[in-house]
């Protein structure tokens, strides 16, 4: 039988602490909310009442339920008020010495059977527990922000936490309507260990001026379906908090350079640029604490003037290829009003592409997203060909052939001879160096990467990849074309993985390493990232969809270019690919899909 918790204490009433108070009080549990001073206590009370008032205003909480909730909370200054509670959760800043002092005092104040819990997101629960005489009753209960909304709780046991305490806390999480994942005491636990390596990498990308803050954030939101871009998320978390978490994980987690804080983070913290709470971080906000971004000196100029900056006029577009990506790109251009020349290797392939485009457009009509007249007009704009010579008068060529450098180089050499001067030559490669393709021509200034995402008619993102030889005019033309297609074009340099894959796949690789180390299960890791970070899919779900062979190939490319030990492909990923477990397409990857 699980222990019945009738009263809990919460130490620290910042955003997280006040949210934890609300979670317990919402679920009928009496709460003693403790702060260090009267002023801090009143700020905590205001945070709690503000949150519950907003819930009432949005119709998510009845006024009577709010009043009942608030009546369950007793506010007090000092830890002595916690003498009779069944459980205490500490939610003070991430400083080990501070937490140890609080736990030593809680050990003195609280009744012998009380469970002492920390909400730490990165510090060692074990090191906190040894400040007490009851380390077997100390546990980590890591809520995610905002605690009343986020479903995940990481339950962190140390090597001496009793099994009864773990079971009691797991039952409590269920009572609170939370999904818990129980794990051992390791730096970053699940979610932060995976999240902060990715965030740190994004800051590094920005620091090196590889891409703008807006383009990095747009790429990850639109390319991966994430709720926030990484730099906006850093501002929300707070750069000082992020620095402490990264520094702790680096020191405790084997000194993996993926977690060594990028120097820019420490510089910004020193300068007081802490994110939303200070009114400025990677972005500038209306006022401290506000989520409203306002323009600053880094804000891009208006799209219209940027697109007009030397962009060439594009009326006729050639698309080379017959696969899924080529088919989608043909449809995108035709629907946007461009005349399209589709070139494939033979009439049979052209017929298949025609049928695929027609089927897709018909689905648009059935779903009410396209009129029959628009469908017919789009099909009427497409010319079908099996010879590259028919590209002699186009203004833009988009190559979407097999992802082999020799094939692409041979194609671009042919296009160089056939196409008129001034044509923009674009490759859709997702992993190969664009400069290698460009140098197969005598006009590398006219070559650019246009990396569409699959399925092209639906996905709103295009990565515009400029090499060191790409002209500003060519980049401006690519941006204008993306805007005309209704896509968001993000500009980046010619580095392996561009923006999305360079940030996404090391995160996926880290998840595989976590599974490989038997730290957690694939299900719990997927739960942690979906429920704790709001990701649309967990890493193992996503790997099985993408294909483990594709993922391994991309990770190898990243490792070969960056030579960063943390980017080395996880051996487990290599073994699964060798065994033919490629994900959904083979019926088995990290999960068995044949039984579903």
**Residues designated catalytic:** 121, 142, 154, 192
Tally Cβ neighbours within 10 Å of residue 129.
25
Pairing, β 30-35 against β 447-452: unpaired
**Token code pair at residue 272:** 């007081």
Tally Cβ neighbours within 10 Å of residue 67.
11
User: Rounded CA gap, 314 and 396, in Å?
Assistant: 7
> 73 — phi, psi (to 5°)?
-105, 125
Which residue has tokens 């996880």? 570
Distances (CA, A) of 137 to 29, 163, 183: 20, 10, 16
Residues whose CB is less than 8 angstroms from the CB of residue 403 and which lie 6 or more positions away in sequence, other chains included? 429, 430, 431, 432
The closest alpha carbon to 577, from 554, 542, 549, belongs to 549
Alpha-carbon torsion angle 114, 118, 123, 129, nearest 10:
-10
> 37 — phi, psi (to 5°)?
-150, 165
- Contact 398/450 with Cβ under 8 angstroms? yes
**H helical segments located in 439-570:** 472-484, 500-516, 522-533, 539-546, 548-562
**Cα 436 from chain centroid?**
30
- Contact 475/491 with Cβ under 8 angstroms? yes
User: Rounded CA gap, 596 and 52, in Å?
Assistant: 42
**Token code pair at residue 17:** 């602490």
| 369-377 contacts, C-beta under 8 A, 24 or more apart | 370/335, 374/335
User: Rounded CA gap, 542 and 561, in Å?
Assistant: 24
Tally Cβ neighbours within 10 Å of residue 456.
22
| 54-63 contacts, C-beta under 8 A, 24 or more apart | 55/148
**H helical segments located in 517-547:** 522-533, 539-546
Q: Name the strand (E) or helix (H) holding 183.
A: strand 179-184
Tally Cβ neighbours within 10 Å of residue 356.
18
Q: First-to-last CA distance in the chain?
A: 35
User: Rounded CA gap, 535 and 543, in Å?
Assistant: 14
**H helical segments located in 72-119:** 96-109
Which residue has tokens 């969809």? 545
Distances (CA, A) of 90 to 10, 18, 47, 154, 238: 6, 11, 17, 15, 19
Which residue has tokens 């060519």? 474
């Amino acid at each position: 039988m699980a222990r019945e918790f009738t009263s809990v204490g919460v130490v620290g009433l910042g955003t997280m602490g006040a949210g934890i108070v609300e979670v317990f009080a919402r679920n009928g549990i009496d709460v003693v909310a403790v702060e260090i001073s009267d002023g801090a206590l009143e700020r905590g009370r205001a945070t709690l009442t503000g949150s519950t008032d907003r819930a009432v205003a949005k119709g998510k909480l009845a006024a009577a339920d709010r009043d009942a909730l608030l009546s369950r909370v007793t506010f007090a200054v000092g830890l002595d008020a916690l003498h009779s509670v069944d459980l205490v959760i500490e939610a003070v800043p991430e400083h080990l010495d501070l937490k140890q002092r609080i736990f030593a005092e809680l050990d003195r104040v609280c009744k012998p059977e009380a469970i002492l819990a920390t909400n730490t997101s990165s510090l060692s629960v074990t090191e906190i527990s040894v400040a007490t005489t009851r380390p077997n009753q100390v546990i980590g209960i890591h809520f995610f922000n905002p605690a009343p909304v986020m479903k995940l709780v990481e339950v962190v046991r140390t090597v001496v936490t009793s099994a009864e305490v773990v079971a009691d806390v797991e039952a409590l999480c269920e009572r609170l309507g939370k999904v818990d994942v129980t794990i051992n005491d390791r730096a970053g636990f699940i979610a932060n260990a995976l999240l902060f390596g990715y965030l740190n990498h994004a800051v590094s990308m920005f620091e090196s001026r590889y891409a703008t803050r807006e383009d990095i954030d747009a790429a990850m939101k639109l390319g991966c379906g994430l709720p926030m871009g990484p730099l906006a998320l850093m501002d929300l978390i707070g750069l000082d908090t992020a620095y402490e978490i990264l520094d702790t994980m680096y020191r405790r987690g084997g000194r993996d350079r993926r977690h060594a804080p990028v120097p820019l983070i420490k510089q910004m913290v020193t300068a007081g640029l802490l994110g939303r709470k200070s009114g400025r971080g990677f972005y500038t906000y209306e006022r401290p604490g506000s989520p409203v971004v306002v323009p600053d000196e880094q804000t891009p100029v208006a799209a219209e003037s940027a697109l007009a900056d030397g962009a060439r006029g594009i009326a006729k577009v050639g698309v080379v290829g017959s696969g899924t990506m080529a088919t989608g790109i043909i449809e995108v251009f035709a629907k946007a009003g461009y005349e399209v020349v589709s070139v494939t290797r033979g009439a049979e392939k052209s017929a298949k592409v025609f049928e695929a485009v027609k089927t897709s457009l018909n689905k648009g009509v059935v779903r009410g997203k396209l009129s029959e007249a628009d469908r017919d007009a789009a099909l009427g704009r497409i010319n079908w060909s099996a010879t590259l010579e028919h590209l002699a008068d186009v203004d833009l060529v988009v190559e979407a052939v097999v992802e082999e450098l020799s094939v692409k180089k041979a194609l671009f050499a042919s296009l160089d001879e056939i196409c008129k001067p001034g044509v923009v030559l674009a490759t859709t490669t997702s992993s190969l160096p664009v400069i290698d393709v460009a140098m197969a021509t005598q006009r590398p200034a006219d070559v650019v990467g246009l990396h569409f995402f699959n399925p092209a008619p639906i996905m709103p993102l295009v990565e515009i990849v400029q090499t060191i030889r790409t002209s500003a005019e060519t980049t401006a033309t690519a941006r204008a074309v993306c805007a005309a297609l209704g896509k968001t074009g993000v500009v980046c340099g010619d580095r392996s993985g561009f923006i999305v894959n360079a940030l996404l796949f090391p995160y996926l690789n880290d998840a595989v390493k976590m599974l490989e180390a038997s730290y957690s299960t694939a299900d719990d890791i997927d739960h942690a990232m979906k429920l704790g970070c709001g990701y649309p899919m967990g890493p193992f779900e996503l790997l099985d969809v993408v294909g483990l062979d594709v993922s391994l190939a991309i990770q190898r490319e990243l490792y070969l270019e960056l030579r960063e030990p943390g980017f080395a492909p996880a051996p487990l990923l290599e073994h699964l690919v060798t065994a033919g477990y490629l994900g959904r397409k083979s019926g088995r990857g990290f999960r068995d899909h044949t039984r579903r």
